[in-house]
Structure 1
Amino acid sequence: MVRIIERNGCFIVEKVQELSKSLELTKCMDIQSLVVSHLRAATEGLIKEHFGLEIIDQLFNSFEKKLANSNYVTFSKENTPEINLFIVLKRKAFDR
């Protein structure tokens, strides 16, 4: 994981720690909710800036329903590895 991050070139790995307790997801829907919440955290500001706050909840609720009603095996419990790492990254400064 550290090599992948370093190969990207944008971040410095400040800390890597193994978590003592794994995240237990019992249903496929739990994994889908987790994926949607991470996507929302990463993109909500950009979407809100371009399209307004009014559509945010509806957009991500629709996306979660589409994942739940689809055959995306990527988000099944069987295909989701347990990763018990906590990684702190620092963004590298770039010369402009």
Structure 2
Amino acid sequence: MLVRLLILALLAFLGYTLWTALRRSISSDSPDGTPRPSTSRRGEEMVQDPHCGTYVPRHEAIEERSRGGTLYFCSTACRDAYRKQK
């Protein structure tokens, strides 16, 4: 009787784990399965580099003001590559 109860509890745990993993993969915002952050671990706003798509904390990003507003880059290399694309 105790063995059956333990097996049932194990199956319930595995089912719950699979269900939550499946639900997370379906509701993810990005194609690779990782959620897109809106804030860093410290609560800082995260901004996306328009060239490579990397998210960085706003205070660490390299700002580029343009006619359309402000762009944020993860590095000077990405900023320069973005400039060359335009």
Question: What TM-score does the superposition give when structure 1 sets the normalisation length?
Answer: 0.24
Give the structure with the larger helix fraction.
1
Question: What TM-score does the superposition give when structure 2 sets the normalisation length?
Answer: 0.26
Q: Report 1 or 2 for greater relative contact order, CA contacts < 8 Å, sequence distance ≥ 6.
A: 1
Flag the structure with larger Rg: 2
